[in-house]
Amino acid sequence: MEGVVLELKKGGKLMKSMSSSRSGKYEFVLEISSTDDPDAEYELSFSKTGLLSKNLEINTYVPNPNSTAYAFRLDVNMAKKKKEDIVINLASGKVRWSENKFILDKIDANVIQKVKEEESKKKKTEEEAKPPTTSKVVEKEEPKKVVKAEKKANEEKIVKQKQDSLLQKYSKGVSVEMFQEANFKLIKKIVVKNGKAIVYYKKIWNWGGVYCFVEDLSMVRSISEYAFDMAGTNTK
């Protein structure tokens, strides 16, 4: 696919941006890291109008490298975006070194959030409450600006409700919760500071994969394990 915008970032800072060629090909050169620390972590995003964006993590740590360069072919599939889809910025895979080569770990991450069930129920209730009529009713379409303003107000309301709930449940400082599932362990860290709550997640798979995320207000994004471990260290 031609014209897909690719952005390479490290620590949230844009390192390079480019577009795929007519044949859909692209190429990035990343430095091999001799230590498994934040300097080895990269983020590679793919975006194009009308398609769901995709994000990948890349770890360039190679223990005892026996070469100055390694090639890795990364094929990416992108799906069409529907009007009701809301994209959440979660990584859908991670490229890492394993047994003398780079491999791609796929993550079962939710990248699409459908229209909330509560909104659907509310709409259904309003429809049922309307009086029966035999005449056709033509409703005026609301101006786009009004619809956007209402949508923004609803999103802000949901964010505030979630923040209020977290602040009522957790006290100032750092709270840690752990959950054990069949295939992975989830560590949840809630940091409360200056009247604001931020939630961090660490997902540890049974096969050894570790993925970390942060939920700050309405945005969810992937972070390094180091960033997760350091979260909340300066709350005092």
pLDDT tens series, the chain, 236 aa: 899 999 999 988 999 999 999 888 899 999 898 888 888 899 998 989 888 888 889 999 998 888 888 888 888 888 887 766 655 556 778 898 888 888 888 754 444 444 445 556 666 666 666 555 544 555 555 566 677 777 777 778 888 888 888 888 888 889 999 999 888 899 999 999 888 889 999 999 988 889 999 887 667 888 999 989 998 887 65
What's the order of all strands across the beta sheet hosting 184-193? 173-180, 184-193, 196-205, 210-216, 219-223
Domain boundary among 59, 89, 113: 113
Q: Is residue 136 part of a domain?
A: no
Q: Is residue 129 part of a domain?
A: no
Q: Are 151 and 59 contained in the same domain?
A: no
Residue 193: which domain range?
Answer: 147-236
Instruction: Give the β-pairing of 196-205 and 184-193.
Output: antiparallel
Q: Is residue 235 part of a domain?
A: yes
Domain boundary among 88, 113, 138: 113
Q: Is residue 201 part of a domain?
A: yes
Q: Is residue 22 part of a domain?
A: yes
> DSSP string spanning 113-166?
EPSPHHHHHHHHHHHHHSPP-SSPP-PPPPPHHHHHHHHHHHHHHHHHHHHHHH
Q: Are 151 and 108 contained in the same domain?
A: no
Q: Are 79 and 23 contained in the same domain?
A: yes
Report the C-alpha gap between 129 and 81 in whole angstroms. 33
> Which pLDDT score, from 0 to 100, does residue 115 have?
41
Cβ neighbours, 10 Å, residue 171:
10
Q: Are 230 and 187 contained in the same domain?
A: yes
Report the C-alpha gap between 131 and 43 in whole angstroms. 54
Q: Are 225 and 156 contained in the same domain?
A: yes
Q: Are 98 and 14 contained in the same domain?
A: yes
What is the H or E stretch that residue 126 is in? helix 117-129
Q: Is residue 128 part of a domain?
A: no
Q: Are 166 and 91 contained in the same domain?
A: no
Q: Are 93 and 155 contained in the same domain?
A: no
Q: Are 165 and 236 contained in the same domain?
A: yes
- pTM confidence score: 0.46
Contact 95, 58 (CB under 8 A): yes
DSSP letter at 76 equals -
Count of domains in the chain? 2
Q: Are 221 and 163 contained in the same domain?
A: yes
